[in-house]
Structure 1
Amino acid sequence: MMRARLRHLPVPLMVSAVLLVIVAAVGWALDGGAGAAGGAAGVALVAVSYVLSSLALAWADSVSPRLVLTVGLVTYMLKFGLLGAAVFAVAATGWAGLRMTAIGIIVGTVAWVVAQVWWTAKAKIPYVEIEPK
């Protein structure tokens, strides 16, 4: 049952994997190894956070659809709180890969959302329950 709730994940994950390589290459060209690591880390952070959010929401929906809003809001607050704390902690170190980390986070978020919207628009999602034959 969880698998059916997570069938949207492969497309954004593939887009994120390709984007991770591209952003790491751009980071390498602009800021060397630190830029490559920062860019890759930014895209990876976004992908991991969306996967964890999807898992939490799928679990909530499997337990009770009434939990989805609460779990979604708590997950959202935790995700942005932890992501913000991590970015501020890294920024305090003066690490050279910080710029590419920020770029990776921004580009990764936009790419994930676009990929998920594309998947949703193309998915064959019935509006009513279809009885198995």
Structure 2
Amino acid sequence: MKIARGFLKPCFIVAGIATVLAAVIGGITSGATAAWAAPAGVALAALGFAGSVWAIALAEKFDLRLTLPMALITYSVKLALVLTLLTIVNSAVPNALLPFAYGIIGGAVAWLATQVVWAYKAKIPYIELDQRS
């Protein structure tokens, strides 16, 4: 799994760029509220994806069969967390809801696109090879 987690660094780099772009675009289009809400959404998406990777990698250390249940659990927790945060943002700062949601969507698209490009270029063997000296 260590080889398969190599996408984290490029994904975080792209998420950082997307965060800056979200702040600039949000600030230009919708003002100061969007300038913090949109990048917060991007950060939430990036941290959610990274948290899933780390949780699944931890489950794999115990038993490979635990990876699917852990993936489903982390997905459920992330979905509940996002819905809760959207509700909180809507009640606290209603103007920030749309930029925050756009940031989440933009962050997810940026992360997943980077991961797809990385997976396409990666040389991951389909079988485990012995480490011979």
TM range (shorter): over 0.9
CA displacement 1:49-96 (0-9 Å, x = unmatched): 111111000111111100001111011001101110110121122432
Aligned to 2:61: 62
Alpha-carbon contact 2:89-2:96 (below 8 Å) kept:
no
Aligned to 1:105: 104
CA displacement 1:97-133 (0-9 Å, x = unmatched): 2221111111111111111111111101011222222
Alpha-carbon contact 2:42-2:104 (below 8 Å) kept:
yes
Root-mean-square deviation (CA, aligned residues, Å) is: 1.4
> Displacement, 1:5?
4.9
What secondary structure, in the 3-state scheme, does the structure 2 residue paired with 1:96 have? helix
Aligned to 1:116: 115
Query: Identity over aligned residues, as a percent?
Result: 35
Distance in 2 between the 1:21 and 1:34 partners? 15
Distance in 1 between the 2:74 and 2:45 partners? 14
Normalised TM-score (structure 1): 0.92
Distance in 1 between the 2:111 and 2:102 partners? 14
Q: Counterparts of 1:1-133 in structure 2 under 5 Å?
A: 3-132=2-131, 133=133
Alpha-carbon contact 1:36-1:97 (below 8 Å) kept:
no
Alpha-carbon contact 1:31-1:96 (below 8 Å) kept:
no
**Alignment gaps of 5+ in structure 1:** none
Distance in 2 between the 1:63 and 1:121 partners? 28
> Displacement, 1:18?
0.5
Moved more, 92-101 or 122-131: 92-101
What secondary structure, in the 3-state scheme, does the structure 2 residue paired with 1:55 have? helix
Alpha-carbon contact 1:5-1:58 (below 8 Å) kept:
no
Runs of 4+ residues over 3 Å off in structure 1: 2-5
Distance in 2 between the 1:5 and 1:122 partners? 12
> Displacement, 1:3?
4.5
Distance in 2 between the 1:98 and 1:124 partners? 40
Distance in 2 between the 1:78 and 1:59 partners? 16
